[in-house]
Amino acid sequence: MPKLKTKSGAKKRFKLTASGKVKTAQAGKRHGMIKRTNKFLRNARGTTTLAPQDAKVVKQFLPYA
């Protein structure tokens, strides 16, 4: 059986935690910060875990992670 390829975009954006959850950066921090509230920007720091429904899709792109 041949090796499965990992999606390059997924390996740059997602990491798996030890318990198998998918960790990703907070959404909404790419551009347009001037229109966002300071409270939103503070709360969007760091990383978050994906919802189980979304994590199921992402794990298909990371076969060996």
Domain limits, the chain: 8-61
Which residues of the chain form beta strands (DSSP E)?
A: 15-16, 22-25, 47-49
> In this predicted model, what pLDDT tens digit does every residue of 10-64 receive, in sequence order?
999 999 999 999 999 999 999 999 999 999 999 999 999 999 999 999 999 999 9
Does pTM surpass 0.85? no
Architecture (CATH level 2) of domain 8-61? Irregular (4.10)
> In this predicted model, what pLDDT tens digit does every residue of 46-61 receive, in sequence order?
999 999 999 999 999 9
Instruction: Write phi, then psi, for 15 (nearest 5 degrees).
Output: -135, 155
Contact 22, 61 (CB under 8 A): no
